[in-house]
Amino acid sequence: MKILGLDICADTIVGDAMQRGISGGQKKRLTTGEMMIGPARAFFMDEISTGLDSSTTFQIVTCLQQLTHVTNSTILVSLLQPTPETFALFDDIILMAEGKVVYHGPCNNVAEFFEQCGFRSPPRKGISDFLQEVVSRNDQAKYWYHEDQPYSYVTVDKFVNMFKDFHVGKKLDEELRKPFDKSECHKDALSFNIYSLRKWELLKACTAREWLLMKRNSFVHVFKSAQLVVVALVTMTVFSRTWMNIDDVHAKYYMASLFYALIRLMSNGIAELSMTVSRLAVFYKQRDFYFYPAWAYSIPATILKIPFSLLDAFLWTSLTYYGIGYSPEPERFFKQIIILFLVHQVSISFFRLIASLVRTPSVAATICLFSLIAIRNLKILCHFTQSNKHFPNAASLPTWLEWGFWLSPLTYGEISASVNEFHAPRWQKVLSSNVTIGQQVLESRGLNFSDSFYWISIGALLGFWMVFNIGFTCALKSKLYITNFTGMVLPFEPISISFQNVQYFVDTPTKMREQGFPPQRLQLLQDITGAFRPGILTALMGVSGAGKTTLMDVLSGRKTGGSIEGDIRIGGYPKVQETYARISGYCEQSDIHSPQITVGESVQYSAWLRLPAQIDRHTRSQFVKEVLQMIELDEIKDELVGIPGGSGISAEQRKRLTIAVELVSNPSIIFMDEPTSGLDARAAAIVMRAVKNIVSTRRTVVCTIHQPSIDIFEAFDELILMKRGGQIIYYGELGQNSSKLIEYFEGIPGVPKIKENYNPATWMLEVTGLSAEAQIAIDFAHIYRGSHLCQKNNELVRELSFPEQGSKELHFSTRFPQNGWEQFKACLWKRHLSYWRSPRYNLGRLIFTAACSLLFGALLWQKGTENRWRTGIFQHSRINLLSAMLYTEKDLLECTRRGHIRFHRYFPNSFLEHNILATPKFDMRFKTIKGLTKLFQMLQVIIEIPYILIQAALFSTITYPAIDFQWSLYKVFWYFYAMFSTFLYFNYFGMLLVSLTPTYQVASVLASFCYTMFNLFSGFLLPGPKIPVWWVWGYWICPLAWSLKGALTSQYGDVEKEIVVHGEQRTISAFLGSIYGYNYDDLGVVAIVLLAYPLVFALVFACATEKINFQRR
């Protein structure tokens, strides 16, 4: 860790897009270190220097060189923009162009080869930059040194043929033709053990890692348990023993409470899906590198969840068992704990299996929810099928679906729970029908099994648990196959930015305080004073962790946490973030773009929103074209941006797109965080040429930069050099050939002189590093503060801190470049394109809806027709059956909400859109949009409507005739309206949960809690009139209760056919009113409420997204 410079952040979490962690350079070094640890002797390293300063890269490659020579290892490294000093550390080089090897041999001979071909590297030109440009058609001519001979382009094929005739190429060919000498092969050259540790050690290591991750993610588990306690307390009071008696009337409510407990524990494990999917990427990488086998990962993931399942089962049972009033025998209490424990274990095992099989978050969510619906609703409707077999002329399920009763884990959970309760002595009272109460209840549900079925069901649940976990392990072993996919000058005002004595503090991490670090605040920037001026290109450099990006974030107003002190002025006036955002741009180190729109559309979208309204459409289009040409993106302007590391454009093209999106806004000040990281020398040179062109128009441009070549480094006019700890050690001009920088540092006693043709950037970082400071016992920051250069800079800053005579403070006639209508059109255009190009979500949910509709249609085939009604208790059963049907339809509607949560949090498109939306509060790209968050969310709300219309129409078209409801235009419309409204508010409710939670895991747990409450108060498990008075408000605010009320009442609320219920003659409409509280006259109110719910959810969603930002920087 010391070699890689990771010892200073050893106790810091890695972090991600939403949570502050280690820096980008440290993440890159962490990846390198992860691979270097172990017995491996062959390493293949791809662009390990991206995001690192040249000094750190030099140290790492030096370490690799020593490792290679000492251990006889084989190391192949691809680098972008290596400095000459780093390049000199390598023994051999492979130079490729157009997929062909141009040169493969010793580094010392590569210059000789190209001189023989007629090309020579000029003085002060890095050899690595020369090699990448000499094979390029655009740059090759400037290296031709035969002035007496005409130049003609040398193709890659010609270079390849020349290399074959070169002495290095001939030697290589001879070596490759020689057969391998087995006598030189050492018996230990190959390892015959797949893994470096014994099986027990592998299991211990994976278990320790899993336990650590669980502790770090403890908030999710605590939150799950806390909301389970809340739900249990609510359930206990809803099904309170104070109003339920031991008789055949109230027995069904005991049965409902048991069923609800099983549903709750099964749904509580759904957060396991997201946690598993989120860890699979790391698992696949480590598995493929043989860190450990799949079983070493799956066993801890399974075993360590057992205590949480036991805790959840114990909490639920201990809170509800005696509160609801189940049979008081202690053994039955503990038997119920065992049941709920196994159901919860089966649930999380099942979700883990789905995640490992599918691996794609949105598809996994869809399959998981469809499976959950099938498991639960086949069980519900099979109950009614079993019940109806006790009555004459009862329609039953198709025989081809009856297997579903026995394939559902929920079946065995309910059999064991019901047998455990209703075989108790208190339910053995004999009724007039010569059966006991318990027997009658069990028979009415098709669950009249003997006591032995309790243990049979326990065995079945254990069997499901074993099958799911074994399947999880086997799925982790399978390989994941991935398919590869392939200036116009607009008027602006030059503006300077000055800053004096800028300090930045963050709260001291807990671990540092525990280790004896007393200050409550940790200072990341100390006394930073400087200025950025128009027409001057300034470089911001320093070792990794010096605070370069932090300083830029502070100056641009992007920091959301910590404390900022000091004076920042724009054009001599105090910085006002609202106006400053109009004239500035910021190119982030992480390139965040909407993946479902093209490169050209991304730039066009930025120009549409950010260029002044006075610029006409034609001029704007021309400007977009020229920016695309300037950044060399015109040839790929029609390609989709895609997802990083997956489909779409390459990392280099994404970097250039980030710059283009900012340049097209025509800013006066632009910040670029490592614009050349991840680019090869030619691409970096292209970017820097574009940047220089921008600077030549008197714009203020500041770039953080790592390991620049001599050409790139000396393209800058001024440099701010920072040391670790956030202090400036040099601020001033570079001078011709970096002469002023070299003169300053060589003037400090003890600093070694720079070697001839040595890269000044590399030399500068080497001589000012912590080790160099310790060696010569000086503090470069202290020396700079006492230097004449610092005094000169302070005078310049003081001068720029006052406005120029005749200047005016930044002011715009309108607050935003475009009016509200133009903003709306631009955002709707982009959102429509993103949605239309997201078939995985939109087509997926339509297929999912069709599948569920067909399932429900089969389960309820022809059960809604009025002329099949009979008299007697069967009608009561049919009403319950209809309620069950609507309950199963509710599950589909609930799935749309859960699916929407997964879509917005996990589907890559919307996950990035969510990150983009989290950044506008400080992102220059979006501060210029009027009420962006409100507008963006309004568009999100609007764009959902046509898809939900199609979804509701599809569902209604399939289920309405299949169930055979009454063919009345009024009833058909009401059915469609109820389904559409419910789809709509569940989607908006899912969006609302996303906006209220920091992570998908928390959103999933919160969704499970809300889903549980909707189930409890929907009026299905317990009709509204039967809910205790202290909880009746929960029924009236439950949106699902209104959906059920609208669907049921519109279909049967006006039916005056008489039926016999409990010995009384009643009309069907009267029965609905007395039992369920559904009155036909209330349909007008129901219609308004069903419209109000999506409006309220959408409004709260927009407000929450605007006010809440969980991203911490």
- Sign of torsion, CA 933 936 942 944? negative
**In this structure, are 854 and 952 located in the same domain?**
yes
Most confident of 41-50, 292-301, 877-886: 292-301
**In this structure, are 237 and 156 located in the same domain?**
no
Q: Is residue 17 part of a domain?
A: no
**In this structure, are 851 and 957 located in the same domain?**
yes
Q: Is residue 306 part of a domain?
A: yes
Q: Is residue 615 part of a domain?
A: yes
Residue 916's pLDDT is: 54
Q: Are 989 and 211 in contact (CB under 8 A)?
A: no
Residue 379's pLDDT is: 54
467-512 residue pLDDT tens: 999 999 998 887 644 444 334 445 667 889 999 999 999 888 777 7
Q: What is the mean pLDDT of residues 890-914?
A: 43
Secondary structure letter of residue 1024 according to DSSP: G
**In this structure, are 146 and 276 located in the same domain?**
no
CA 422 – CA 450 distance, rounded (Å): 11
**In this structure, are 277 and 307 located in the same domain?**
yes
Task: Give the position of tokens 């704990």.
Answer: 337
CA 507 – CA 509 distance, rounded (Å): 6
Residues in Cβ contact with 984 at an 8 Å cutoff, skipping those fewer than 6 apart = 944, 945, 948, 1094
Q: Is residue 1 part of a domain?
A: no
* Bigger pLDDT: 1013 vs 517: 1013
Residues in Cβ contact with 342 at an 8 Å cutoff, skipping those fewer than 6 apart = 413, 458, 461, 462, 465
Is the confidence at residue 996, as pLDDT, over 90? no
CA 657 – CA 635 distance, rounded (Å): 12
Q: Is residue 84 part of a domain?
A: yes
Least confident interval from 60-69, 361-370, 985-994? 361-370
Please name which of 850, 861, 851 lies closest in space to residue 400, comparing C-alpha atoms: 861
Least confident interval from 157-171, 850-864, 952-966? 850-864
Distances in Å between the Cα of 473 and the Cα atoms of 44, 197, 285 are 29, 20, 16
At residue 1111 the predicted structure's pLDDT band, cuts being 50, 70 and 90, is low
Q: What values do phi and psi take at 728, rounded to 5?
A: -85, 135
Is the confidence at residue 922, as pLDDT, over 60? no
Number of domain units in the chain: 4
DSSP of 348-360: HHHHHHHHHHH--
Containing domain of residue 421, as a range?
A: 199-477
Task: Give the position of tokens 């498991």.
Answer: 375
**In this structure, are 153 and 272 located in the same domain?**
no
**In this structure, are 308 and 263 located in the same domain?**
yes
At residue 315 the predicted structure's pLDDT band, cuts being 50, 70 and 90, is very high
**In this structure, are 262 and 114 located in the same domain?**
no
Q: Is residue 1061 part of a domain?
A: yes
Most confident of 275-284, 316-325, 485-494: 316-325
741-778 residue pLDDT tens: 999 999 999 999 998 888 899 899 889 988 888 888 89
Q: What percent of the chain has pLDDT over 90?
A: 26
pTM listed for this prediction: 0.61
Q: What is the mean pLDDT of residues 728-751?
A: 92
Structure tokens at 711: 């050409």
789-803 residue pLDDT tens: 999 999 999 999 988
**In this structure, are 1032 and 1071 located in the same domain?**
yes
Is the confidence at residue 894, as pLDDT, over 60? no
185-198 residue pLDDT tens: 655 555 556 777 88
Least confident interval from 18-32, 204-218, 448-462, 1000-1014? 18-32
**In this structure, are 94 and 219 located in the same domain?**
no
Most confident of 67-71, 77-81, 453-457, 628-632: 453-457
Secondary structure letter of residue 1073 according to DSSP: I
Q: Is residue 518 part of a domain?
A: no
At residue 520 the predicted structure's pLDDT band, cuts being 50, 70 and 90, is confident
Domain CATH code at residue 550: 3.40.50.300
Q: What is the mean pLDDT of residues 321-339?
A: 93
Sheet holding 700-704, edge to edge: 584-587, 669-673, 700-704, 537-542, 718-723, 727-733
Q: What is the dihedral of CA 172, 175, 180, 184, to 10 degrees?
A: -100
Q: Are 965 and 971 in contact (CB under 8 A)?
A: yes
Q: What is the mean pLDDT of residues 903-914?
A: 41
Q: Are 501 and 528 in contact (CB under 8 A)?
A: yes
CA 449 – CA 443 distance, rounded (Å): 9
Q: Is residue 320 part of a domain?
A: yes
Is the confidence at residue 390, as pLDDT, over 50? no
Residue 186's pLDDT is: 57
**In this structure, are 460 and 532 located in the same domain?**
no
**In this structure, are 251 and 127 located in the same domain?**
no
